[in-house]
Structure 1
Amino acid sequence: MAEDFSKAVDDGLKFSKRLYFGKDRAVSPPKQPPSMDKATSCAFLPTAPMVYAVISDPGIVDNPDIPSYQPHVHGRCDPPALIPLTMNRVELQVDCYMDTAFIRVSGSWRVHCIKGSKSCGCRVAIPMGEQGSILGVEVDVNGKSYHTQLSQLEDDKEMEKVTHVEGGFLRVKPHIFTLTTPQVNGGANISIKMSWSQKLSYSNGNFSLIVPFTFPGYVIPPGKKYLKKEKIQLNVNSGVGTEVSCKTASHSLKELRGVSQVGKLGFLYEADVLNWSNTDFNFSYTVSSSHTHGAVLVQSPPMHDIDQREIFSVYLLPGNEQSRKVFRRDVVFVVDISGSMQGKPLDDVKNVLCAALSKLHPEDSFCIIAFNGQTFLSSTSMKSASKEAVERAIEWIGINLIAGGDTDILPPLTQAIEMLSNTRGSFPLIFLVTDGSVQDERHICDVMKNRLTEAGPIAPRIYTFGIGKGFCLCH
């Protein structure tokens, strides 16, 4: 679908060579790619909000002000060609709320390529950024107004009607939404307001936004060059009431002092230009906070919205202090070294156990209990996870984790709970790794349940990891 759209624009630019605007200049297409291979087949997809004349009959293509009286073109275009309309005015408004940007583009385009006595449909194309979602389109032309509306489809027949409407999303990233307007007379000016939402990107404490805003040269009105109004307004609301600072911007934004507050920023770019913006609107900012912040937003639906349900949003900002630990951990690793663990199962457990030890912070504490018919401890008490202690534990693993014997799970689990019974100000954890299916699993579960209930709120959490297919899943 995207390739078909690009090909239609390519055909439309070729038709635009028929247009004559006196001695000033003719509208000529940009330099053509050498061949429409796979790499260039989407060369004419829109890189900014665009409007195109939909041409099924080539005979209607002409300057509405100065007829060229060119020979009539016979035949029809199937699929229709798309001629980019010239743009007279454009305004971009961006409202950033937390991690979402609401974007509104309003502009005026002229049907400069259709005879004054003819009319055609106009195709609106809206490229959207990260996770873009269309919100609405409003069109004013010929003294009439049109707007999109969310409809609830109740049966398959209505779905079939929608699928045959000209427009929809092109199968390409970023998303491009298209919509075809009713017939517009040649030479008419068409005013359009488009709105959509897209996600802000977040990385290393910075929020960033890219809005497609690169206009090709062939949308500049023909004839003598004159200054045109280009405007961008940006509002930022972090939602957490902390200081916000601008990092980068693609256009010369001026901060609006009367708008800026704690957690909010306002910017304006307004200029008289000869050529429209030739770069996407790019903006990034940072929220100055080392702490985690959260907010809950509640929104009631508009009066005439088809969906009258209340909505809410929960938002969390992680803050800039990436290495901060929320709690200290006391960890006991209970590892099965019975005969059935011999070979690859035990080798894999050793590798994972060494990796887990290396992830502990120095303020954490740990102990390793290996078991078969007996229990073997890396230390008689919990040890702080210092670099030296971790290295000694890894050495102990290599020497003592040797497969052999039976499987007796209850004694090592009981010992692990006793080692963690005096835990204060930390988070106690037990990781049990076994491949065994034992006869007294119900009794083991009952004993553990009673011990954990007696321990109350400081009871350790027990995580079990089953190796292979023989471990018990019954309790």
Structure 2
Amino acid sequence: MLARVPTPKPFHKTLSLSFPIFNLRRSLAVLRDGISQPEASPMADDFAKAVEDGIRLSKRIYFGKDRSVSPPKTESMDKSLQSYLPTAPMVYAVISDPAIVDNPDIPSYQPHVHGRCDPPALIPLQMNGITLEVYCYLDTAFVTVSGSWRVHCVMGSRSCDCRFAIPMGEQGSVLGVEVEVPKKSYCTQLIAMDDRTNVEKAVRPETGGFLKPHIFVLTIPQVDGGSNLSVKVSWSQKLLYCNGQFSLGVPFSFPEYVTPAGKKISKKEKIQLNVNSGTGTEVLCKTTSHPLKQQRRHVGKLDFLYEAEVLTWSSTDFTFSYTVSLSHIFGGVLLQSPSVHDVDQREMFCLYLLPGVQQSRKVFRKDVVFVIDISGSMRGKLLEDTKNALSAALSELDPKDSFSIIAFNGETFLFSSLMELATKEAIENATQWIGMNFIAGGGTNILLPLNKAMELLSDTRGSMPIIFLITDGAVEDERHICDVMKSCVTNRGSKSPRIHTFGIGSFCNHYFLRMLAMIGGGYYDAAYDADSVEFRMRRLFTQASSAILANITIDNSDDLELEVYPSCIPDLLSESPLTVSGRYRGNFPDTLKVRGVFADLSNFVVDLKVQMAKEIPLDRVCAKQWIDLLTAQAWFSDDKQLEEKVAKMSIQTGIVSEYTRMILLETEEGKKAAGSEVSKKVDSRKQAESKGQKIILLPSLGVGFGNLSATAENIPPGCEAAKLPEAAEIFVKAASNCCGKMCSCCCCMCCIQACSRMNNQCAIVITQLCTALAFLGCLSCCSEVCCSGQDGG
């Protein structure tokens, strides 16, 4: 006799009906949140809501009596949506039809569910094993995560899409993803922008891309219930540096509901860490989040390993910090020959300088002008965070420093026509002035305030002139601005102001800001996510104000031809190491002489030891810096050949660029997939054609070159329009047809935008009203045609 399997509680989710306006409710809610709260990310908010729905939906799954893991408790539903965003590599089942949700091993009697999930729910899959490998070179870390997940929530006879979410660390750049499922395998590759042969034209946003600036998502189509997925993902990220200490942080905190149900299931967790500082000096481990065991120790190198059977997965991010024992400025030069597949066959070099840990190191006296965008798009939280960061920067100035503030939109507003000493009284006056004059409104004009800042800093003596430019918009005369600033820098020489730039959101031209910083010998940073604006802006203010060595130059012999990135070497900061790299022809000497000036105006000269980088892949370590800087130069000069060079370099190294697109290659079992090694990525399209692979084009992963129309309309960053679901698109098409019969001042799309500001109760009332009017219209038709006895034909 068969034992009866208990019936789970019915799934109480509001499902979409056939009437199109109900399918819009979620999308309208997302649009409403994005408009009323510019700091929110519509895509991330929608993703978090889908995960919340998926966790509720997972209550339908019956694990049997012998289980060690319970489904999420009801009170967890009260968490904020941010708590449902991934904090470690995760895989989700994409559920449109809730009826397919069940245990593939133990089918149960499920209550029938009507309707579909629109947008689809995301059920986190259970994880069977995870391995983290990290290789640290100089200031860059290369991270590889390999894991196994099981589609534990879908009937064995059904299938669903599976979505991967990969959160990355500081300035993370995805390098590649490889996936194996039964009978198929997938891998990502990069192709040139104009290489679209045999690539699927229909690109859905949910196929892949960035959910948030640090979270990469990718969807694998139609995976059978009960199947196991093996995933390998790689990315690069920057190491943080503070007080002589390098720090690494990798998202590695897994929620409890990804732990497999059942006591007998093996759960293996492994972390491998390799550090090569490149300095050839002693490296000391300071802190670690996981119980690492030292495997090997050499001068400048450390190897660690952690491997264990666990009851639950890691609940904390993996962090590690180490110091290089140096009490003074120290540096070196590393050389490497190019590979046979390298786009540029010139030799490579990388020069680094570490500030050391001398706490008494004197920083330069500063004359600082803050140039702040207060256009209409900066309204709300963006402007408040900017004001907070600016106030903190003013409070950190030395009384001997001087400062001024220029707020700009279409006009400029000056705190003072002269530079003011950073006394307590002046800072208080500046704080009051900021509160009264930082009112968001108007357009964006960058050249006018920059010229004014140059005038304010035209007569600085014995101090370092600095300009901080903060903006969230793009302007039409950006190349002209670069030309004007380049001319100013050339005319003033070593006394020209350092120009540090900070971009907010995706509407500003980040390559213009990067180029401007390169021209001005400054640093560039950005906050693509509105939530990180204050933190990153304060960090830029603090770091860029801590210069201890300026006017750095390299003595170059006649038989050595150097191409340095960036071309104008920035200052060495006490809060950050300096790394410049590039290509060369000729013979490097045994030592390279570097010169500079200290804050007390004394000269600095050091002979840096030159050595071959035997175990450090310089081409990978320097690739992102080269691609970013060359892209800025290609934009500035409008050089098509340089664009092609960047595209080839991007394909070769796996670093995403503005001139390449990522594709997903699907290979059926029995057909060998194109290799993921760099040497096999040169012509992915021809490889795919010869092997009969399916190629899917993913959405563009670049940040673009600014959005002039969004800037002109003063659209706040983070308010990009969310893509409506399929049913909503049908409704929009129907709306566009009826608009032709209505007056031009009103249309259904206007109604949709207006509905984005409604609450749910108001939307329900309008829906009921529309339904009633439609019903009355049917009654009127019946009374006039049918009931009157007339022939309707």
Q: TM-score, normalised by structure 1?
A: 0.63
Which of 214, 221, 226 matches 1:187? 226
Q: TM-score, normalised by structure 2?
A: 0.39
- Rounded to whole Å, the distance in 2 between the matches of 1:2 and 1:192 is 22
- Please give the secondary structure, in 2, of the residue aligned with 1:78: coil
Are residue 28 (structure 1) and residue 71 (structure 2) matched? yes
Q: Give per-residue Cα distances to partners, 1:86-122, cap 9 Å, x unaligned.
A: 0111010010011111000101111100110111111
Distance verdict in 2 for CA 1:317–1:117, change over 3 Å: same
For these two proteins, the number of residue pairs brought into alignment is 329
- Rounded to whole Å, the distance in 1 between the matches of 2:205 and 2:258 is 29
Which of 21, 25, 45 matches 1:3? 45
Distance verdict in 2 for CA 1:210–1:347, change over 3 Å: closer
Task: Identify the residue that residue 115 of structure 1 maps to in structure 2.
Answer: 155
- Rounded to whole Å, the distance in 2 between the matches of 1:161 and 1:301 is 36
**1:301 CA drift (Å):** 5.7
Task: Identify the residue that residue 56 of structure 2 maps to in structure 1.
Answer: 14
Are residue 176 (structure 1) and residue 218 (structure 2) matched? no
State whether residues 225 and 274 of structure 1, in contact with CA within 8 Å, keep that contact through their aligned partners in structure 2. no
Distance verdict in 2 for CA 1:286–1:56, change over 3 Å: same
Distance verdict in 2 for CA 1:91–1:54, change over 3 Å: same
State whether residues 19 and 27 of structure 1, in contact with CA within 8 Å, keep that contact through their aligned partners in structure 2. no
Task: Identify the residue that residue 295 of structure 1 maps to in structure 2.
Answer: 333
State whether residues 52 and 123 of structure 1, in contact with CA within 8 Å, keep that contact through their aligned partners in structure 2. yes
- Please give the secondary structure, in 1, of the residue aligned with 2:81: coil
Matches within 5 A, 1:262-301: 262-290=299-327, 291-298=329-336, 300=338
- Please give the secondary structure, in 1, of the residue aligned with 2:48: helix
Task: Identify the residue that residue 112 of structure 2 maps to in structure 1.
Answer: 72
- Rounded to whole Å, the distance in 2 between the matches of 1:89 and 1:326 is 49
Which of 211, 226, 249 matches 1:210? 249
Which of 232, 236, 249 matches 2:271? 232
Task: Identify the residue that residue 83 of structure 2 maps to in structure 1.
Answer: 43
- Rounded to whole Å, the distance in 2 between the matches of 1:193 and 1:236 is 21
- Rounded to whole Å, the distance in 2 between the matches of 1:182 and 1:5 is 18
Which of 62, 65, 72 matches 2:102? 62
- Report the AA paired with residue 13 of structure 1: I
Matches within 5 A, 1:271-350: 271-290=308-327, 291-298=329-336, 300=338, 303=341, 313-321=350-358, 323-324=360-361
Distance verdict in 2 for CA 1:142–1:318, change over 3 Å: same
- Please give the secondary structure, in 1, of the residue aligned with 2:83: coil
Task: Identify the residue that residue 590 of structure 2 maps to in structure 1.
Answer: none
Matches within 5 A, 1:309-458: 313-321=350-358, 323-324=360-361
Distance verdict in 2 for CA 1:263–1:62, change over 3 Å: same
Task: Identify the residue that residue 145 of structure 1 maps to in structure 2.
Answer: 185
Uncovered stretches (5+) of structure 2, i.e. residues with no partner: 1-42, 365-415, 424-548, 552-600, 602-793
**Structure 1 moving runs of 4+ over 6 Å:** 155-160, 307-311, 344-347
Q: Give per-residue Cα distances to partners, 1:169-208, cap 9 Å, x unaligned.
A: 1135xx1110001221110111000111111100000001
**1:350 CA drift (Å):** 12
- Please give the secondary structure, in 1, of the residue aligned with 2:312: coil
State whether residues 127 and 149 of structure 2, in contact with CA within 8 Å, keep that contact through their aligned partners in structure 1. yes
- Rounded to whole Å, the distance in 1 between the matches of 2:344 and 2:246 is 32
**1:242 CA drift (Å):** 0.8
Distance verdict in 2 for CA 1:101–1:56, change over 3 Å: same
State whether residues 253 and 316 of structure 2, in contact with CA within 8 Å, keep that contact through their aligned partners in structure 1. yes
- Higher normalized strand content (fraction of residues): 1
Q: Give per-residue Cα distances to partners, 1:266-295, cap 9 Å, x unaligned.
A: 000111111111111010000112331133
**1:76 CA drift (Å):** 1.4
Which of 206, 220, 235 matches 2:259? 220
State whether residues 294 and 317 of structure 1, in contact with CA within 8 Å, keep that contact through their aligned partners in structure 2. no
Q: Give per-residue Cα distances to partners, 1:397-419, cap 9 Å, x unaligned.
A: xxxxxxxxxxxxxxxxxxxxxxx
User: Which has the bigger relative contact order, CA under 8 A and spacing at least 6?
Assistant: 2
Q: Give per-residue Cα distances to partners, 1:335-381, cap 9 Å, x unaligned.
A: xxxxxxxxx98995899xxxxxxxxxxxxxxxxxxxxxxxxxxxxxx
- Rounded to whole Å, the distance in 1 between the matches of 2:258 and 2:48 is 16
State whether residues 158 and 224 of structure 2, in contact with CA within 8 Å, keep that contact through their aligned partners in structure 1. yes
Q: Give per-residue Cα distances to partners, 1:26-80, cap 9 Å, x unaligned.
A: 75125545657xxx22220011111111111111111001111212322111111
Distance verdict in 2 for CA 1:309–1:245, change over 3 Å: same
Larger radius of gyration: 1
- Rounded to whole Å, the distance in 2 between the matches of 1:251 and 1:69 is 43
- Please give the secondary structure, in 1, of the residue aligned with 2:106: coil
**1:164 CA drift (Å):** 3.8
- Rounded to whole Å, the distance in 1 between the matches of 2:223 and 2:340 is 31
- Rounded to whole Å, the distance in 1 between the matches of 2:269 and 2:287 is 20
- Please give the secondary structure, in 2, of the residue aligned with 1:320: coil
**1:153 CA drift (Å):** 1.2
- Higher normalized helix content (fraction of residues): 2
Are residue 166 (structure 1) and residue 203 (structure 2) matched? no
- Please give the secondary structure, in 1, of the residue aligned with 2:189: coil
- Please give the secondary structure, in 2, of the residue aligned with 1:117: coil
Task: Identify the residue that residue 567 of structure 2 maps to in structure 1.
Answer: none
- Please give the secondary structure, in 1, of the residue aligned with 2:99: helix
Which of 29, 37, 53 matches 2:93? 53
- Rounded to whole Å, the distance in 2 between the matches of 1:309 and 1:144 is 37
Q: Give per-residue Cα distances to partners, 1:104-148, cap 9 Å, x unaligned.
A: 010111110011011111101101111111111100110322111
The more displaced of 138-147 and 263-272 is: 138-147
- Rounded to whole Å, the distance in 2 between the matches of 1:218 and 1:302 is 47
- Rounded to whole Å, the distance in 1 between the matches of 2:280 and 2:121 is 51
**1:228 CA drift (Å):** 1.8
Which of 243, 251, 257 matches 2:282? 243
Distance verdict in 2 for CA 1:3–1:282, change over 3 Å: same
- Rounded to whole Å, the distance in 2 between the matches of 1:244 and 1:222 is 42
Q: Give per-residue Cα distances to partners, 1:202-258, cap 9 Å, x unaligned.
A: 00000011111111110111122554211100000101111101000011111113x
- Please give the secondary structure, in 1, of the residue aligned with 2:221: coil
State whether residues 331 and 351 of structure 2, in contact with CA within 8 Å, keep that contact through their aligned partners in structure 1. no
- Please give the secondary structure, in 1, of the residue aligned with 2:298: coil
State whether residues 295 and 316 of structure 1, in contact with CA within 8 Å, keep that contact through their aligned partners in structure 2. no
**1:16 CA drift (Å):** 0.5
- Report the AA paired with residue 250 of structure 1: S
State whether residues 293 and 305 of structure 2, in contact with CA within 8 Å, keep that contact through their aligned partners in structure 1. yes
Uncovered stretches (5+) of structure 1, i.e. residues with no partner: 328-343, 352-426, 430-462, 464-475
Are residue 261 (structure 1) and residue 309 (structure 2) matched? no
- Please give the secondary structure, in 2, of the residue aligned with 1:7: helix
- Report the AA paired with residue 220 of structure 1: T
State whether residues 226 and 274 of structure 1, in contact with CA within 8 Å, keep that contact through their aligned partners in structure 2. no
- Rounded to whole Å, the distance in 1 between the matches of 2:140 and 2:58 is 39
State whether residues 128 and 266 of structure 2, in contact with CA within 8 Å, keep that contact through their aligned partners in structure 1. no
- Report the AA paired with residue 17 of structure 1: K
- Rounded to whole Å, the distance in 2 between the matches of 1:187 and 1:278 is 26
- Please give the secondary structure, in 1, of the residue aligned with 2:194: coil
State whether residues 60 and 115 of structure 1, in contact with CA within 8 Å, keep that contact through their aligned partners in structure 2. yes
Distance verdict in 2 for CA 1:151–1:350, change over 3 Å: closer
Q: Give per-residue Cα distances to partners, 1:438-460, cap 9 Å, x unaligned.
A: xxxxxxxxxxxxxxxxxxxxxxx
- Please give the secondary structure, in 2, of the residue aligned with 1:275: coil
Distance verdict in 2 for CA 1:222–1:107, change over 3 Å: same
* Identity rate, percent: 64
- Rounded to whole Å, the distance in 2 between the matches of 1:33 and 1:116 is 29
- Please give the secondary structure, in 2, of the residue aligned with 1:11: helix
- Rounded to whole Å, the distance in 1 between the matches of 2:56 and 2:322 is 43
Distance verdict in 2 for CA 1:220–1:43, change over 3 Å: same
